[in-house]
């Protein structure tokens, strides 16, 4: 898995493996990518990007996932929503993270996925990016982590399962006047491949992978969805 800057090799991480040896690598858990958008790479000074990016939008109603129909369009909409939520700053806060995962993950794998995410968001990791063990920024500082889906494409489809590529822009950083060193808020592009399954409660996330890029300037970049 890579940081989503559009630079470097675009490789998928096999299940059960954690990439090592590169400051551009992020944490990968079994069967689902922990979407720490460029966090480790930025903490190590290894992610390049710019300081721009669109505002976040989630498509939620009162903070809860919107209902999505048992259709191809519904699967795409659910994947887009889940990409946004997994890439948000709420994932760094234990209580909020558990709430998100309870809502969006397939019940067949939910307990396992929650444990995997918890093992990735360690207090040591949070300290490395300037947060306390509850995922809170220091006084006077603001932590930023957002994922903005730009395009969705179904690559595999059956009536009850779908695999959706979600092309995203992500921004990440720690800013403000406080006791920790600032991490400049930067932007990068990446593609999330989300597997969703139709359940009694609608489309739920079962697995996720992430690859670097493409950058919007790449001729192979997808066409942004109409909003």
Domain boundaries, the chain: 28-212
Query: What pLDDT is stored for residue 140 in this prediction?
Result: 94
192 CB neighbour count, 10 Å cutoff: 26
**Spatial contact of 81 and 141, defined as CB atoms under 8 Å apart:** no
DSSP strands (E only) in the chain? 28-29, 32-33, 141-158, 161-176, 183-199, 202-212
CATH of 28-212, one of 3.90.550, 3.10.450, 3.30.70, 3.40.50: 3.10.450
Q: What are the residues whose beta carbons fall under 8 Å from the beta carbon of 125, sequence distance 6 or more?
A: 27, 36, 39, 40
What are the backbone dihedrals phi and psi of residue 189, each rounded to the nearest 5 degrees, phi first?
-115, 140
Query: Please, what is the Cα angle at 119 between 123 and 10, to 5 degrees?
Result: 105
Residues in the chain: 227
**Spatial contact of 10 and 212, defined as CB atoms under 8 Å apart:** yes
CA 39 distance to own-chain centroid: 11
pLDDT above 90 as % of the chain? 53
Q: Which residues pair with 78 in a beta bridge?
A: none
- The pLDDT tens digits of the residues spanning 148-197 come to 999 999 999 999 999 999 999 999 999 999 889 899 998 889 999 999 99
Query: What pLDDT is stored for residue 212 in this prediction?
Result: 85
Q: How many separate helices (H) and strands (E) can be counted in the chain?
A: 5, 6
Query: What pLDDT is stored for residue 156 in this prediction?
Result: 97
| Residue 227 predicted with pLDDT over 90 | no
Average pLDDT over residues 69-90: 94
Of the spans 10-14, 32-36, 51-55, 111-115, which averages the highest pLDDT?
111-115
Average pLDDT over residues 90-95: 96
| Residue 97 predicted with pLDDT over 80 | yes
Query: What pLDDT is stored for residue 53 in this prediction?
Result: 34
Q: Quick one: DSSP state of residue 57? A: -
Q: Quick one: DSSP state of residue 220? A: T
Query: What pLDDT is stored for residue 226 in this prediction?
Result: 56
């Amino acid at each position: 898995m890579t940081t989503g800057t559009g630079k470097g090799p675009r490789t998928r991480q096999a299940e059960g493996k954690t990439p090592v040896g590169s400051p551009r690598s992020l944490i990968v858990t079994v069967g689902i990518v922990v979407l720490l958008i460029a966090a480790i790479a930025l903490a190590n000074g290894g992610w390049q990007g710019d300081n721009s990016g669109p505002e976040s939008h989630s498509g939620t109603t009162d903070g809860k996932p919107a209902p999505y129909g048992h259709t191809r369009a519904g699967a795409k909409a659910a994947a887009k929503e889940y990409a946004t939520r997994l890439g948000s700053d709420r994932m760094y806060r234990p209580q909020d993270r558990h709430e998100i995962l309870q809502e969006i993950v397939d019940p067949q794998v939910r307990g396992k996925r929650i444990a995997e995410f918890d093992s990735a968001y360690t207090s040591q990791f949070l300290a490395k990016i300037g947060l306390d063990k509850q995922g809170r920024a220091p006084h006077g500082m603001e932590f930023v982590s957002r994922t903005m889906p730009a395009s969705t494409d179904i690559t595999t489809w059956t009536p009850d399962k779908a695999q959706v590529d979600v092309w995203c822009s992500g921004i990440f950083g720690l800013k403000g006047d406080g006791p920790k060193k600032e991490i400049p808020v930067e932007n990068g592009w990446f593609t999330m491949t989300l597997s969703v399954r139709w359940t009694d409660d609608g489309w739920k996330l079962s697995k996720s992978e992430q690859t670097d890029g493409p950058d919007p300037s790449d001729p192979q970049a997808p066409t942004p969805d109409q909003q």
